[in-house]
Amino acid sequence: MRETDDRIFDAALSVFARKGKDGARMQEIADEAGISKALLHYYYRSKDQLYEKVFEHVMSRLERSFGERLMKAGSFEEVLGSFIAGYVDFVRQNLDVMRLMVNEHLTGSPVVAGRLRTIMDSSETMPTVVFVRRLEEAMERGEVRRVDALQMLITVMSSCIFFFIIFPTIRAIHPLAATDSDQFIEARKQHLTDVFRTSLLTSQEQAGEDT
Partner DNA sequence: GTCTATATCTCGATAGAC
Partner DNA sequence: GTCTATCGAGATATAGAC
Closest to its own copies by CB, 83 vs 163, is 163
| Shortest Å distance, C-beta 24 to its own copies | 8
Looking at residue 141, what DSSP letter applies? T
Which partner in its own copies, DNA, none is near 161 (CB below 5 to 8 A by kind)? its own copies
**205 is a site residue for its own copies (CB under 8 A):** yes
Neighbouring CB atoms inside 10 A of 65's CB total: 21
x/- track of binding to its own copies for residues 143-182 (CB under 8 A): --x-xx-xxx-xx-xxx-xxx-xxxxxxxxxx--------
User: Identity (one letter) of the amino acid at 204?
Assistant: Q
- Are 24 and 96 a contacting pair, CB within 8 Å? no
**Helix and strand tally (H, E) in the chain?**
13, 0
| Shortest Å distance, C-beta 57 to DNA | 18
x/- track of binding to DNA for residues 1-40 (CB under 7 A): ---x-------------------xxxx------xxxxxx-
Q: Which of 133, 116, 115 is nearest to 124 (CA)?
A: 133
Which partner in DNA, its own copies, none is near 38 (CB below 5 to 8 A by kind)? DNA
Buried b (16+ CB within 10 A) or exposed e, 110-125: eeeeeeeeebeeebee
Q: Which of 94, 92, 95, 88 is nearest to 193 (CA)?
A: 88
Contact partners, residue 116, CB within 8 Å, separation at least 6: none
Size of the site for DNA (CB under 7 A): 17
Write out the residues near DNA by the rule CB under 7 A: 4, 24-27, 34-39, 41-42, 45-48
Positions touching its own copies (CB under 8 A) are 17-25, 99, 102-103, 105-108, 110, 112-114, 116-117, 120, 145, 147-148, 150-152, 154-155, 157-159, 161-163, 165-174, 187-188, 190-192, 194-196, 198-199, 203, 205-206, 209, 211
